[in-house]
Amino acid sequence: MKDEQKLRAQLALLSESEKIDLIIELMTQVAQVEQLIARVAELEARLGMNSANSSKPPSSDGYIKPNPKSLRAKSGRKPGGQKGHEGTNLRQVSEPDEVEVHSPNRCACGCGLDDVPVDHVERRQVFELPERLLRVTEHRIVCKKCPQCGRMTHAVAPPEASGSVQYGPRFRALLVYLRDFQMLPYKRLTELCRDVLGAGVCKRTVETAQKQMYDALAPFEEAVRARLLVEGVLHTDETGMRVGGKLQWFHSLSTADFTLYQAHPKRGGEAIEANGIIPAFKGVLVHDCWGPYFRYGGKHALCGAHLLRELFGVCENEGHRWAHEMSALLEIMSKTTAARDAAPLSPELVEWFERTYDVILARGKYELAPPEKTPGKRGRAKQSKSANLHERMVTHREAVLRFLHDPVVPFTNNLAERDIRMVKLRQKTSGCERTFAGAQIFARIRSYISTSLKQGQYLFQNITDAVADNPWIPPPKTSIP
């Protein structure tokens, strides 16, 4: 009270102009404080963002990892193998490669057993690697001189023996298998060949096998492109990798049966145009709301898992009620559509979901702080993370709710994310790709590997056939969905 009376007495001594100057100064300070408060809130929200509640990659989390927040509900089952599961334990084979018979010569009482008939035989099998895994076959090309005309005739050498010394197609297939499927770095791959196989393989040998397979897979890539164009639903994603000292981009196109990777210097429209599939695609394109995708295709669907992560981030960092309500609604819709199999939802249920979606966004609009214009900066006023997410869910409402109407459209884009994760695994194990040509080779070979696995093919045999210039080609689709 005394401080207030003292302040009033000091103000009474000021002239009108001095009072105006003081009020202007106070208003300026209040504006600066408001800007600082908004800046602190933005920085705190940014510090609260991680891979569990935003689109940030796990590699950006640093040493302090967030507590995992799985979107899966507990199944109630005990951990481990479930009843009825056959298991993959070691079992005896009916026709072993080698049989050794061990017969007793004498009984413990001293009686000889050499002439005693066999009562029964116990079978015990040992699975072991041979001492020498690498076999060397010498092809001797016989040459004969014709006694009549004197011409020298050479026998025809098999295709795998084109020179005086070389590795066979199965060994070269093993190099590609270890490098591009098991993701071994060159050094560890060559060490494995030296220690286990006794082969002094160098990096150049591996690269040559990869290049041979890359060239042979050109018809495979064209066949996959043709199949992707006639699919009803296509998943896409992209991620960056250091290639030749620069940031380059890997793009993936995925279905349940096919995968196609593309390496390109750009992430947006230029890469999409270069690939050529998305501009001509007429089905539903599922993605993570990357802006350039909306320029192409007929229909779009957004990944619900990405939206849930961002909604969780808004709940944790800003505490908006609409984000909690929208998270609960999306989870209910996800569980409902997962249980429908291939049958569509009833029109009444779909209408209720859509109406609830609209109501939550309408109420949430009043929770958002108005965008603040930064003094001295031109253009649109900057919005908060929650406001951007809210605007996206309003603008792309049809794409967010596409899975409600179409049973073949999934709630998430996990199919593409699982495929694109292999690029990050290569970066994690090898650090980068040295050349852009190497990135293109990896993209095509990985497309072949992923597609073979999705279609239940014997992968190593498929790689061996491709190295021998006879790759497996998926058959064309007979009808358009």
C-alpha span between 232 and 298 (Å, rounded): 11
Which residues make Cβ contacts (< 8 Å) with residue 231, sequence separation at least 6? 255, 258, 283, 481
Q: Where are the alpha helices (DSSP H) in 365-467?
A: 385-395, 397-400, 402-405, 414-430, 436-454, 459-467
Is residue 367 within 8 A of residue 321, CB to CB? The reply is: yes
pLDDT digits (tens, 9 = 90+) for 422-473: 999 999 998 889 999 999 999 999 999 999 999 999 999 999 999 999 999 9
Residue indicated by tokens 């030296």: 194
C-alpha span between 329 and 360 (Å, rounded): 9
State the burial class of residue 195 (Cβ atoms within 10 Å of its Cβ: 0-12, 13-18, 19+).
exposed
Q: Which amino acid is at 184?
A: L
Q: Which one-letter DSSP state was computed for residue 476?
A: P
Instruction: Return the SS3 of 431.
Output: coil
C-alpha span between 176 and 185 (Å, rounded): 11
Report the DSSP pairing between strands 143-145 and 152-154: antiparallel
The shares of helix, strand and coil residues in the chain, as percent rounded to the nearest 5, are 50, 10, 45
Is residue 298 within 8 A of residue 314, CB to CB? The reply is: no
Residue 33 to residues 37, 237, 370, Cα–Cα distance (Å): 6, 42, 17
Domains of the chain by residue range: 141-294+428-481, 304-369+383-405
C-alpha span between 461 and 174 (Å, rounded): 10
C-alpha span between 300 and 395 (Å, rounded): 12
Q: Give the residues across from 171 on adjacent strands.
A: none
Strands in 284-287's sheet, in edge-to-edge order, are 259-264, 246-254, 233-243, 284-287, 299-302
Residue 228 Cα to chain centre, angstroms: 18
pLDDT per residue as tens, the chain (481 positions): 666 667 667 667 767 677 666 666 676 676 667 667 666 766 766 676 666 555 566 666 655 666 655 656 666 777 777 777 777 788 899 999 999 999 999 999 989 988 899 999 999 999 998 888 899 999 999 999 999 998 999 999 998 888 899 999 999 999 999 999 999 999 999 999 999 998 989 999 999 999 999 999 999 999 999 999 999 999 999 999 999 889 999 999 999 999 999 999 999 999 999 989 999 999 999 999 999 999 987 899 999 999 999 998 888 888 888 989 999 999 999 999 988 877 888 999 999 999 999 999 999 888 887 777 666 667 677 788 888 999 999 999 999 999 999 999 999 999 999 999 999 999 999 888 999 999 999 999 999 999 999 999 999 999 999 999 999 999 887 654 4
Is residue 305 within 8 A of residue 281, CB to CB? The reply is: no
pLDDT digits (tens, 9 = 90+) for 278-331: 999 999 999 999 999 999 878 999 999 999 999 988 888 888 889 899 999 999
Instruction: Return the SS3 of 246.
Output: strand
Backbone angles phi, psi at 287, to 5 degrees: -155, -175
Q: Which of 444, 479, 439 is nearest to 463 (CA)?
A: 444
The b/e string for 333-363 (b: 16+ C-beta within 10 A; e otherwise) is: bbeebeeeeeeebeeeebeebbebbeebbee
Report the DSSP pairing between strands 284-287 and 299-302: parallel
Which residues make Cβ contacts (< 8 Å) with residue 42, sequence separation at least 6? 384
C-alpha span between 387 and 392 (Å, rounded): 9
> How many CA atoms does the CB half-sphere of 112 hold within 13 Å?
2
Residue indicated by tokens 């991680």: 50
C-alpha span between 301 and 399 (Å, rounded): 4
Residue indicated by tokens 């490669």: 97
